[in-house]
């Protein structure tokens, strides 16, 4: 019955590639067209830091990037990402958020769910939650882009999702306007766990769309562990180039 329903839905609403929006064949099993599939690269195929998931040229026995070796405390236990954040992935994420392409959330979530299975299959999560978006961004976009992806990830993986776990407790400057070290300082102490939410002793999975300087995930992890979380892992769709030089 589910298969028949899916065929009917695909006939009425033909599947589109999440990267280029090209209409695909009705029997397509993935949300990416053959052309884009050949263009994207995967973090699983690259040399990445074992802690933050950023791509590296080389590393020592600890398999960590310079940032993770030099920064303490990091608070998070590990970050993994699906793709390097370059075209066509970066273009797809920007269109998703800027053009309100909510239907693409399911496609992104499929990739994230696969990455969770690859890297976290031996980890038992109590729940997943998303990195909070600002009210300004939600109003501007008309939806919470990260929360929608997290909902889809929860549906695929079966990991329970908790909404409104984290909140901003003070205003911060726009991260895009700041230098690398300034971004870390800008977010420090800006997040807290919401009232009436218990994370004591829990193993939490944070979901975000893009990991840039790691600052947001560090701050969310700090807030969760300050409230008693046992372990905090994170997964993102994309990760930017590792630009930390010490």
The full DSSP string for 49-116 is -TTT--B-S---TT---HHHHH-S----SEEEEEEES-TTHHHHHHHHHHTT-GGGHHHHHHHHHHHH
Question: Same domain, yes or no, for 230 and 153?
Answer: yes
Question: Same domain, yes or no, for 7 and 28?
Answer: yes
Q: Which long-range contacts (CB under 8 A, 24 or more apart) does 53-59 make?
A: 53/78, 53/79, 53/80, 53/81, 53/211, 53/236, 53/239, 54/211, 54/214, 54/239, 54/241, 54/242, 55/84, 55/239, 55/241, 55/242, 56/242
Residue 11 corresponds to which tokens in the numbers above? Answer: 């006939």
Structural domain includes residue 144: yes
Structural domain includes residue 229: yes
Question: Same domain, yes or no, for 49 and 137?
Answer: yes
Lowest mean pLDDT among 6-10, 95-99, 134-138: 6-10
pLDDT tier, 246 (very low <50, low <70, confident <90, very high otherwise): low
Structural domain includes residue 74: yes
Does the pLDDT at position 245 exceed 70? no
Question: Same domain, yes or no, for 201 and 82?
Answer: yes
Question: Same domain, yes or no, for 70 and 192?
Answer: yes
pLDDT digits (tens, 9 = 90+) for 184-234: 888 898 999 999 999 999 999 999 999 999 999 999 999 999 999 999 999
Structural domain includes residue 86: yes
Question: Same domain, yes or no, for 174 and 101?
Answer: yes
Arithmetic mean of pLDDT, 66-72: 91
Report the C-alpha gap between 201 and 229 in whole angstroms. Answer: 5
Identify which has the larger pLDDT, 64 or 133: 64
Peptide bond into 88 cis (omega under 30): yes
DSSP for residue 170: S
- pTM beyond 0.85: the answer is yes
Question: Same domain, yes or no, for 165 and 216?
Answer: yes
Share of the chain above pLDDT 70, in %: 92
Domain containing residue 28: 1-39
Measured at the CA of 13, the angle between CA 9 and CA 105, to 5 degrees, comes to 90
Give the CA distances from residue 117 to residues 127, 153, 232, in Å, rounded to whole numbers and listed in that order.
Answer: 15, 11, 16
Question: Same domain, yes or no, for 28 and 83?
Answer: no
Question: Same domain, yes or no, for 23 and 10?
Answer: yes
Question: Same domain, yes or no, for 63 and 33?
Answer: no
Structural domain includes residue 246: no
Question: Same domain, yes or no, for 24 and 65?
Answer: no
Does the pLDDT at position 169 exceed 50? yes
How many domains, the chain?
2
């Amino acid at each position: 019955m589910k298969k028949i329903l899916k065929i009917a839905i695909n006939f009425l609403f033909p599947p589109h590639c999440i990267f280029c929006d090209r209409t695909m064949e009705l029997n397509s099993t993935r949300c990416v067209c053959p052309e884009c599939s050949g263009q994207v690269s995967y973090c699983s195929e690259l040399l990445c830091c074992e802690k933050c998931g950023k791509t590296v040229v080389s590393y020592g026995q600890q398999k960590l990037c310079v940032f993770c070796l030099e920064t303490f405390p990091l608070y998070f236990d590990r970050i993994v990402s699906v793709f390097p954040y370059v075209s066509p992935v970066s273009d797809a994420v920007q269109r998703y958020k800027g053009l309100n392409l909510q239907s693409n959330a399911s496609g992104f979530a499929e990739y994230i769910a696969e990455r969770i299975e690859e890297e976290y299959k031996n980890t038992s999560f109590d729940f997943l939650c998303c990195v909070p978006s600002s009210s300004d961004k939600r109003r501007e976009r008309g939806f919470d882009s990260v929360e929608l992806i997290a909902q889809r990830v929860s549906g695929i993986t079966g990991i329970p999702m908790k909404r409104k776990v984290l909140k901003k407790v003070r205003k911060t400057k726009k991260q895009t306007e700041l230098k690398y070290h300034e971004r870390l300082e800008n977010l420090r102490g800006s997040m807290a766990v919401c009232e009436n939410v218990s994370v004591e002793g829990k193993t939490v999975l944070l979901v975000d769309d893009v990991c840039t300087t790691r600052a947001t995930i560090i701050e969310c992890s700090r807030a969760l562990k300050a409230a008693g979380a046992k372990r905090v892992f994170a997964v993102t769709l994309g990760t930017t180039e590792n630009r930390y030089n010490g």
